[in-house]
Amino acid sequence: MFHQVLAPTGSLWSTILLALVPLAVLLFMLAVLRITAWLATIIAGVVTIAVAVLAWHAPVNVTLKAYLYGGLQGAWVIDWITFWGLIIFNTLVLTGNFDRFKSWMVNQATSDVRIQTIMLAWAFGALLEGLVGFGYPWAVVVPILVGLGIVDLEAIRVAALANNAPVSYGALGSPILALAAVTGLPLLALSASIGNIVAVLALLPPFVLIYLVSGWDGLKEAWPLGIVGSLSYIVGQWPTSHYLGPYLPDISGALSSFWILYFFVKVWRPKNIRAFGGKIISAQEEAKAEAAGAAVNVFQAWLPFLVLLMVVVAWTGPWSHLPAKSLYKASTSAVSSVTSKPIASTFNFTPLSGGTSILASWIVIALLLRPSTSTLRQVFARTFKQMWGALLVAFFIFAIAYVFVFSGMANSLAFGLSKFGALYVVFAPILGWIGVALSGSNTSTNAMFGPIQAVTGRLLGLPPLLAPSLNSVGAEIGKPIAPQTASVGVSTSRFVRSEGDVIRHNMVWTLIFLAYLILIGLLFYFVLPATMM
């Protein structure tokens, strides 16, 4: 069995610099050269294997096995979920169901810009993030906000900041599934620990959103809306993250937030009705659907999301043994340079995993919506066109992560970072923030930095879930300044190919949220460490 080496160069600090080479190469290609992600991950994989074999003396044959097993695990754990999630979304779009749903939601928001922002950017945006991710909440929500009178650049910032809290559970929990796969930490425990951090994080964004669209006067009038907006999301998100896992917290949080807000604004309204910028406008009568068919259309519009909730909960809940059933398992092992115990790089083919529950949900939804054969062909063609690059990235980024861990590079880097001592609690979310700002993907950031965070935390004696969880939530905070996310998010605005303007406009508030997250991390470290065990 291969025994990892902690400091192959003979010096800890030169070893750390060498261990950073694969990550630096990948991030340089993504952020500076702007090479497409799937090609960048292939090149970075070659570099990672070369460094593992030549510097850490990992045997070629078992290193290649770890690379292959990592890629297969990434394809099964991530691609199988995100593909069927996007299939559901495209089915709703091409059958017209999504447009009906979107129009109904817009009509339920009053003419007050603050209520529109919380119901649409916050609640509806979280629903889109939970189902699809990949910048789609920006792309869908921004034109709605612009149509309601919010200036383009401000609409993009509002959509981006509203998207902060839901990202870790985006695309049906893909980032957390990735984090569990590369760290070996229990999936439900990770989901719960991240849910704790997100619940505290979610207290702030609604107030910021209200301020951005209406100023201080608008915020002073509508502070109850901020409280209800944040707590209503937490009410749906927190229990789901704790007891059902990472697949549905965004969707349950979004649905609970929208409906609680819906009934709340029936009994409470701000003193004045305000437009964007805080301008007071005269009251307008709310639009009401009167046609008998309207209720049927609304029910039909909501039905796919209810089906998704019911099927996934029944399939993946703690009572279900389906996701754990393994058909095939392959692994290769090494002796850890930190613990001196064996660690395994494993591909575990579980045919009835969470992704299969999404497939089952789509089948039920398709039977209900009855799309034509030509529409189904369009759905699959559009999905492949949108996702083929992301599907490759999931394979290759997991392959890199597995080699990084198997060779001992992750342990060497973590050992160096452990020299920060307790200060590392501050650095952990910053590392996630940097990773996603450069890579554009919370899932990729967790795959790259998750093992480092886990081992560093273990060496420092931190609560085992704290550093990996802060990495994931730190990655949420960095999304508004991620070039790849911004390029998708501005695709439906006049800022196409002007991502730099958007990133600069988002930067200050992103740093404010990062500082807030650091305080949250310190809270859990010093006051609530038991919640991170």
Residue in the structure block whose two tokens are 């809306």? 225
Nearest to 87 by CA among 469, 379, 377, 434: 379
The tokens describing 517, both together, are 């997250």
> Helix crossing, 187-201 with 205-243: angle to 10°?
160
145 touches 209 (CB < 8 A): no
244 touches 105 (CB < 8 A): no
- The span from the CA of 424 to the CA of 379, in Å, is 46
Domain total of the chain? 1
340 belongs to a structural domain: no
Give me the pLDDT at residue 324, please: 87
Amino acid at 501: D
Cα 59 to its chain centre, rounded Å, is: 35
Largest CA-CA distance found in the chain, in angstroms, rounded: 78
337 belongs to a structural domain: no
49 touches 59 (CB < 8 A): no
If DSSP states are collapsed to H, E and C, what string results for 404-421? HHHHCHHHHHHHHHHHHH
Taking only the tens place, the pLDDT of each residue in 223-251 is 999 999 999 999 999 999 999 999 999 99
Quick count: other Cβ atoms within 10 Å of Cβ 61? 8
Cα 275 to its chain centre, rounded Å, is: 31
492 belongs to a structural domain: yes
160 belongs to a structural domain: yes
Sign of the dihedral defined by the CA atoms of residues 380, 479, 228, 468, in that order: positive
Helices (H), 466-498: 466-478, 483-489
Give the Å distances, CA to CA, from 242 to 173, 270, 524.
13, 34, 16
Give me the pLDDT at residue 66, please: 95
The tokens describing 459, both together, are 């060496």
- The span from the CA of 410 to the CA of 402, in Å, is 10
126 belongs to a structural domain: yes
Q: How many residues does the chain have?
A: 533
Residue 62 exposed, middle or buried by CB count within 10 Å (0-12, 13-18, 19+)? middle
Domain of residue 404 covers 2-280+299-319+370-532
346 belongs to a structural domain: no
Give the Å distances, CA to CA, from 462 to 418, 467, 520, 522, 525.
10, 8, 15, 12, 8
If DSSP states are collapsed to H, E and C, what string results for 269-311? CCCCEECHHHCEECCCCCCCCCCHHHHHHHHHHHHHHHHHHHH
- The span from the CA of 157 to the CA of 339, in Å, is 45
137 belongs to a structural domain: yes
- The span from the CA of 90 to the CA of 79, in Å, is 16
**DSSP annotation string for 55-99:** TS---HHHHHHHHHHHHHHHIIIIIHHHHHHHHHHHHHHHTTHHH
Torsions phi, psi for 274 (to 5 deg): -120, 145
- The span from the CA of 218 to the CA of 117, in Å, is 12
Nearest to 452 by CA among 496, 410, 514, 509: 410
335 belongs to a structural domain: no
- For the chain, which residues score pLDDT lower than 50? 285-296
Give me the pLDDT at residue 109, please: 67
357 touches 312 (CB < 8 A): yes
Give me the pLDDT at residue 346, please: 92
Q: What is the pTM of this model?
A: 0.87
Residue 271 exposed, middle or buried by CB count within 10 Å (0-12, 13-18, 19+)? exposed
